[in-house]
Structure 1
Amino acid sequence: MGGRFLYKDGKGDEGDGGGLDEAAAAARAALVREIELSGAWAADPVWRESFAAVPRHLFVPYYYVGVLGGYERRWGEHPDPVARERWLRGAYADAPLATRLRDGELVSSSSQPSLMATMLAELGVEDGDRVLEIGAGSGYNAALLAHRLGDDDLVTTIDLDPEITESARRHLAAAGYHPVVVTGDGARGVPQRAPFDRIIATCALPSIPPAWLAQTRPGGRILTPLATGLVVLEVRDAGHAEGRFLDTPAYFVPLRGQGGPAAGPVPLGGVPQRARQHELFRFLLALTRGRLDPEEAYALWEREGMPGRERYGITVSDGREWAWLDDPEGPYAWPLPS
């Protein structure tokens, strides 16, 4: 971003963008402190270095914020210095950013940084791991992975939309990272780059694609959004994986292509109002969609003491997939859609 960049004190910087770099570095440091205080990377503090080093503003040269009647576009090349400052502050807010709209519908975003930190820490990445990211988004998450691993070739990211993958490549190159960016159906994985030690999805799915297990090394790990939660699966082999949900709520854009999206809203006429609006009950409904009547789900939810996400899990075994409460072989289990 060239030209004059003004800040609150009225001072600017000509030509080389040094003023922007300084402002971005200060905003990034503040974001890192905020994430650290949240405890998001407590499981793997090494991620602090990646978030401190990777410049998020290069991955969101523009984004959209909701306003009355639609969206407002904020962008780094705005002629008004106050608007540019607002864009930069927003780029380093601990908040998700809508980065691509189509016919008024959100199709791509940059996730909330503290949620990204939680997911990356729980992924359990180790030196030398090969990682596949499903959902390229802005490219920011792939850059964090590439920085952590210190080898761009260990990171592969895929998205169905060629416009998204092309912009992710540009953002990554601008930040100095060059992981492999693939245009294709994320549900099919990237077999030519397999096997992977870790697979992480940044889009929601109704079930676990078999291709992911087949492309993960035995002992590897898959972390994916599912039913407004995040499930972490330990992979035994190409036909078997199992794991529990984190206690963290997570709302992501659905995977487009082979794996999604899910069906529309469920009618809740017979369910008490207090349950309809309860976040944990909505999670149970999403997890058991089409398999458990809402009134049955409410009775179970009450009987089991409004269970948190961490009591639920997913098992994949010999072509079958099911969700469960407390025990994979217990009384509460529901098949997932194929």
Structure 2
Amino acid sequence: MGTHLERYAEPADEARAAMVRVIAAEGGLSDPAWRLAFEEVPRHLFVPYYYVNWAGTYERLWNEDPDPARRERWLRGAYYDGPLATRVRDGELISSSSQPSLMARMLEALEVRYGDDVLEIGAGTGYNAALLCHRLGDEHVTTIDVEPEITESARAHLAAAGYRPAVVTGDGARGCPGRAPFDRIIATCTLPSIPYDWLPQCRPEARILAPLSTGLIALRVRDDSRGRFAEGRFLRTSAYFVPLRGGGAPPEGRSGRLPRRAIENDLFRFLLTLTEGSLDPREALSLWERERRPRRDRFGITVSGRHQWAWLDDPGGPYIWPLGHQAAG
């Protein structure tokens, strides 16, 4: 392993520094602690191989390729500011390493404090968990995934980089009660709704950040006379992730007979997915046009008891609808 690390040390350092400069130039990594984490955690150790999609066919790049030019492509790609396909099964992507700039935005939006205990849903390559460990310490980080082969490789990647958080094989939709309570929960896979099992595993004022529809929802967990609930708004940014496995797949989108200008609009597709199962696509289009094509950050979600609903502008109305695919657990 030492020889392998030495072989790539200098070019990896240069590529990593360039990646950080790109993210910072786009407005990311304003928090010095997160910038230091991205500067020091070696992403290439977490993607010893990955797949590049060429016209529907996946090409594998890996760190031990006998061709030096292909090894160089692998290393450059490991520090490209884009997602990397890391596991493909029967032609279907089942795991990836997220775009670093999106990871940076999510980690900053998580608003961690030193001493916070964090649960990550979706272990992936282990890279995101390593960034959390760099910031908080290994003992404060738990990452979970339903696929044993994913947790096994994530654990190995983390150890190679010098990090040893709790890596758990299990259904992330049910959280990780054995490691609870948590101050923060971050998901790196798209959810159909917020799993109810997460809330009892949170401390009061915990923050949940998760991809839902094609956006990122940021929820604050609180207690009141009605009991435990969570509420918050979507961030403005778009987000596309591999769906959560084990907690039920999100429903298929239905465009109906809608105009092309709407179907091709990213903001409308977000609303269409968010209202699926609750609003007819034409009703969603009418709402979107009436409200002058609202951005994601005008929408929010409330989770209370065994119910959860999405809303526009105000959790109390007038535009409220139940999430079409209620969470199990």
Q: Same fold (TM over 0.5)?
A: yes
Aligned to 1:159: 145
Aligned to 1:179: 165
1:268–1:276 contact (8 Å) kept in structure 2: no
Distance 1:52 1:172 in 2: 16
Sequence identity (%): 67
Aligned to 1:99: 86
2:85–2:93 contact (8 Å) kept in structure 1: yes
Distance 2:166 2:79 in 1: 25
Aligned to 1:112: 99
Alignment pair present for 1:215 and 2:201: yes
Aligned to 2:243: 254
Distance 1:251 1:69 in 2: 18
Counterpart AA for 1:239: R
Pick the aligned partner of 1:190 from 145, 157, 176.
176
The C-alpha deviation readout for 1:273-295, integer Å capped at 9, x for no partner, is 10110000000001001111111
Distance 1:54 1:179 in 2: 14
Counterpart AA for 1:109: S
Alignment pair present for 1:24 and 2:17: no
Q: Does the C-alpha gap of structure 1 residues 100 and 16 become closer, same or farther in structure 2, counting only changes over 3 Å?
A: closer
Mark the runs of 5 or more structure 1 residues left unpaired by the alignment.
3-14
TM-fit CA distance, 1:69: 4.0
| Mapping for residues 277-288 of structure 1, pairs under 5 Å | 277-288=264-275
1:241–1:317 contact (8 Å) kept in structure 2: yes
Distance 2:56 2:142 in 1: 38
SS for the counterpart of 2:65 is coil
Alignment pair present for 1:266 and 2:274: no
Aligned to 1:275: 262
Q: Does the C-alpha gap of structure 1 residues 103 and 334 become closer, same or farther in structure 2, counting only changes over 3 Å?
A: same
SS for the counterpart of 1:46 is helix
1:60–1:138 contact (8 Å) kept in structure 2: yes
2:221–2:231 contact (8 Å) kept in structure 1: yes
The C-alpha deviation readout for 1:146-189, integer Å capped at 9, x for no partner, is 0001x211100000000000000000000000000000000111
1:239–1:319 contact (8 Å) kept in structure 2: no
| Mapping for residues 50-199 of structure 1, pairs under 5 Å | 50-149=37-136, 151-199=137-185
Aligned to 2:231: 242
Aligned to 2:189: 203
SS for the counterpart of 1:218 is strand
Distance 1:41 1:213 in 2: 29
Distance 2:5 2:241 in 1: 34
Counterpart AA for 2:16: R
Distance 1:102 1:35 in 2: 31
2:253–2:272 contact (8 Å) kept in structure 1: no
Aligned to 1:10: none
TM-fit CA distance, 1:267: 3.4
Distance 1:57 1:176 in 2: 14
Q: Provide TM-score, normalisation by structure 2.
A: 0.95
Distance 2:32 2:256 in 1: 42
Aligned to 1:12: none
Distance 1:17 1:267 in 2: 49
The C-alpha deviation readout for 1:184-224, integer Å capped at 9, x for no partner, is 00011110100000000000111111111111100110000
Q: How many residues were matched structurally?
A: 322
1:230–1:248 contact (8 Å) kept in structure 2: yes
- CA-based RMSD: 1.2
SS for the counterpart of 1:137 is coil
Alignment pair present for 1:305 and 2:319: no
